Amino acid sequence: MAERRVKVASPVGLHARPAALFVQAAARVPADVGIARPDGDPVNAKSILEVLGLDVRQNEEIRIIVGEREDVDADVVLNELEELVAESEGA
């Protein structure tokens, strides 16, 4: 399992459009993808309801977790998902 901590840049946090973009990107990954608060349990990053339920605000840190799979480069997935939440463009 690969994991990365990222600070959320969007002024609306992981809500509305930024959350939808994040979930869409996670859904394209053929491995399990989770998202969590720094010390919390991960939720399914492919579920908009679970991502919104975390209620992540701007400048809060999250953990992105990618399950291991032979046909998935976890670093590439983490880079893409990190880019989505670390930019404020998605708002």
Counting the structural domains of the chain, the total is 1
Give the tens place of pLDDT for each residue, 67-83: 999 999 999 999 999 99
Residue 69: domain span? 2-86
In a domain, 58, yes or no: yes
pLDDT at 87 over 90: no
- Mean of the pLDDT values across residues 31-58? 97
Residue 29 lies in a domain: yes
Catalytically annotated residue among 10, 13, 14, 15: 15
Classify residue 91: in a domain, yes or no.
no
Does the annotation count 15 as an active-site position? yes
CATH of the domain at 41: 3.30.1340.10
Tell me the average pLDDT across 31-42: 97
- Give tens-digit pLDDT for 10-27: 999 999 999 999 999 999
Q: What is the mean pLDDT of the chain?
A: 94
Establish if 66 belongs to a structural domain: yes
Does residue 16 belong to any structural domain of this protein?
A: yes
The pLDDT of residue 88 is: 67
56 Cβ neighbours under 8 A, 6+ residues apart: 8, 13, 14, 15, 37, 62
